[in-house]
């Protein structure tokens, strides 16, 4: 990966998630400003639905030669299936030198390593036929595959964090789904609503043990449409989600110029 070697062992990351182009949010390329202020650009999923890839391509071209790293979210697969969308992102990675699809992806920058996957959550104990979550209906293979996807992502993160634990690098993890319940502000309106309707479990994972044991320096995530910047054990967890443009789930605290140094 060119043009990303951090100076003074600090990596400057421009970070955001949940841009949701399908809800008429602005096109992505206007985010390609002030490229001299960051080393890499990371998006933690939900650019749109399966039609968003052209916007991601435009953004990658606009920020070149800086690198764009992308983790897919659940909305990226809506109205399609996992294999089709993954293939499209791999094709984009093959065609554009500065785009990286973090689907069990590892980017080793020497002083830092970026580890990424969606972080699919497992809906254990729920009757999926009655559960009010669009993923089961709008991702063609979600209902029959979600347990495998969950285990596959968790095992990848566990083994990769273990492999780098004793290396002299700062580990940065990127998932779409927040890693644990502690990475959610339970007093926020969005969280209160999801608790009321029994849906909070769909908006976080159970990676608390991985954070405690392997202590990555930074964990970036999305999925919840609010902002978060706090510590979970010894790991800084950050969420900078745009949300649904023109609706109550637009994040008023979204910072399109957020840069994180690690």
pLDDT at 21: 79
Nearest by Cα to 157 from 214, 75, 77: 214
pLDDT at 189: 87
> Under CATH, domain 7-261 is a member of which superfamily?
Metallo-dependent phosphatases (3.60.21.10)
Nearest by Cα to 30 from 69, 62, 64: 62
How far, CA to CA in Å, does 90 sit from each of 30, 45, 64, 72, 108? Answer: 24, 15, 18, 12, 19
Verdict on whether the full-model pTM lies above 0.85: yes
- DSSP per-residue string spanning the chain: -TT---GGG--EEEEEB---GGGTPPPGGGG---GGG-SEEEE-S-SSSTT-HHHHHHHHHHHTTSEEEE---GGGGTTB-HHHHHHHHHHHHHH-TTEEE-SSEEEE-SSEEEEE---PPP-TT--TTT---THHHHBTTHHHHHHHHHHHHHHHHHHHHHHHTTSSSEEEEE-SS-SSGGGS-TTSHHHHHHHHTT-GGGG----HHHHHHH--SEEEE-SSSSEEEEEETTEEEEEEB-B-TTSTTB-TT--TT-EEE-
| Cα dihedral 142/238/205/56 (nearest 10) | 10
pLDDT at 29: 75
pLDDT at 8: 58
Question: Which residue ranges of the chain lie beneath pLDDT 70?
Answer: 1-8, 24-26, 125-132, 246-248
- Give the pLDDT confidence of 14-51 residue by residue, as tens digits: 999 999 877 765 677 778 888 999 999 999 999 877 77
Output phi, psi for 244, to 5 deg.
Answer: -80, 115
């Amino acid at each position: 990966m060119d043009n990303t070697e951090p100076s003074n062992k600090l990596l400057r990351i421009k970070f955001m998630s949940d841009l949701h182009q399908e809800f008429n949010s602005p096109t992505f390329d206007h985010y390609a400003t002030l490229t001299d202020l960051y080393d890499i650009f990371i998006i933690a999923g939900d650019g749109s639905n399966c039609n968003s890839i052209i916007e991601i391509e435009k953004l990658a071209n606009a920020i070149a030669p800086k690198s764009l790293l992308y983790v897919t979210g659940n909305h990226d697969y809506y109205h399609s299936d996992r294999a089709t969308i993954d293939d499209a992102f791999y094709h984009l990675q093959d065609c554009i030198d500065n785009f990286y699809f973090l689907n069990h992806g590892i980017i080793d920058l020497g002083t830092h390593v970026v580890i990424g996957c969606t972080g699919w959550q497992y809906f254990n104990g729920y009757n999926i036929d009655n559960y009010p979550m669009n993923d089961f209906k709008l991702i063609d293979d979600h209902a029959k595959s979600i347990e495998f996807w969950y285990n596959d992502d968790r095992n990848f993160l566990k083994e990769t964090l273990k492999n780098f634990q004793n290396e002299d690098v700062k580990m940065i993890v990127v998932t779409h789904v927040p890693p644990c319940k502690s990475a959610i502000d339970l007093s926020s309106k969005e969280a209160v609503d999801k608790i009321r309707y029994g849906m909070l479990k769909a908006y976080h994972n159970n990676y608390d043990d991985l954070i405690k044991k392997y202590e990555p320096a930074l964990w970036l995530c999305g999925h919840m449409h609010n902002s978060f910047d706090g510590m979970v054990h010894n790991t800084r967890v950050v969420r900078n989600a745009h949300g649904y443009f023109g609706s109550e789930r637009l994040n008023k605290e979204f910072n399109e110029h957020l840069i994180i140094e690690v």
